[in-house]
Structure 1
Amino acid sequence: YNEEFLKLVRVCPAALYKIDEDGVKSFDYAGCLECGTCRIACEGTIVKKWVNPGPTMGIEYRCG
């Protein structure tokens, strides 16, 4: 499971997956670019389900 999370740390273009010096894992969904890279890298393991945000949600709404 740690190796799967390390994949996400390496491939996320927005660098939203992090592991701090104490080994604590985190994910900041607010900066998500909705590119789907995490789904491609870890579908079925860490990323169980991928659903694009509904209307008035997500990057299109935040960035106009």
Structure 2
Amino acid sequence: MSRRTLADCVGVNPQTIGYLERGDYSPSLELAMKIARVFDVSIELLFSFEPFEPVAAALRRAGASE
């Protein structure tokens, strides 16, 4: 999914998605919930205070278990 597509789905500017990807911006709870809903995953899978594996790897693993 492109930044623009995700941004359109959650109602933000594509630059905001870039800031999130780089860790330059912390999302509001509302934005985090919207992004989690787009990917049909828990917020904790996408956002954490602790380092975790790349989101793409986690999403591939989650998709493989369905």
Instruction: Give TM class, smaller chain.
Output: 0.3 to 0.5
Q: TM-score, normalised by structure 1?
A: 0.35
Q: Radius of gyration: which is bigger?
A: 1
Which structure has more strand as a fraction of its residues?
A: 1
Which structure has more helix as a fraction of its residues?
A: 2
Higher RCO (CA < 8 A, seq sep 6+) = 1
